A and B are shown apart, each in its own frame.
Chain A
Amino acid sequence: QQQVKQSPQSLIVQKGGISIINCAYENTAFDYFPWYQQFPGKGPALLIAIRPDVSEKKEGRFTISFNKSAKQFSLHIMDSQPGDSATYFCAARRRTGNQFYFGTGTSLTVIP
């Protein structure tokens, strides 16, 4: 049973456009929601994260929107660049045991 559901599986965006990736969860015991970026042949690296007491967090071109009542959160990449082409994973942390659950990933391609 997938604890965190992520969509879309793949995304193609023109340079300068907005990329949007969505995630949904059910477990109310989650208390931290990170997004990871992974380039081919590398391990995932933290991009941006949010806690459920905040509805939005922005870092440069990357924004997380968080809807606690709907149990959904999304990543917005503004002014998408070819260098943003990578796989993006959402995740959620369960307080007990500091355990993390990941979405299935979104392969983003930004076309020049």
Chain B
Amino acid sequence: NAGVTQTPKFQVLKTGQSMTLQCAQDMNHNSMYWYRQDPGMGLRLIYYSASEGTTDKGEVPNGYNVSRLNKREFSLRLESAAPSQTSVYFCASSAGLAGATYEQYFGPGTRLTVT
């Protein structure tokens, strides 16, 4: 039982390049989330998917797109990376509305640097 997995762990991009961050969970959770973590800013929600087939913007969605590929997988795409997107990105999942607990489980993070 791996929980929430993220790939890659580290990535360096040049301004204007694109990339996709991958996330998968094996807990049969309904809800999945993408956060970014910056010093002094806490965790800010980029996009979330309350259930399979739905996605919604969070607090800081500009410059990102997401795909809920199936119940297990939720990817985050940067179409044209900017230095302001240098951050640590975390994927999380929770059982969701149908679950007995609201606990979120986090992946290990992807450290992204845009030069």
Taking Cβ atoms with an 8 Å cutoff, the residues of A that contact B are 6, 9, 32, 34, 36, 41-46, 49, 89, 91, 93, 97-105
Contact = CB atoms under 8 A, between A and B. Distances in A.
Interface residues of B, number: 29
Given A43-B90, A98-B31, A98-B96, A34 B50 contact: no
Contacts of B33: 100
B102 A6 contact: no
6 contacts: A34-B102, A34-B104, A44-B43, A46-B104, A100-B45, A104-B42
A49 B101 CA distance: 10
B40 interface: yes
Question: Is chain A's interface secondary structure helix, strand, loop, or mixed overall?
Answer: strand
B108 A42 contact: yes
Given A36-B106, A41-B109, A98-B50, 6 more contacts: A9-B40, A34-B102, A43-B108, A93-B102, A99-B58, A103-B42
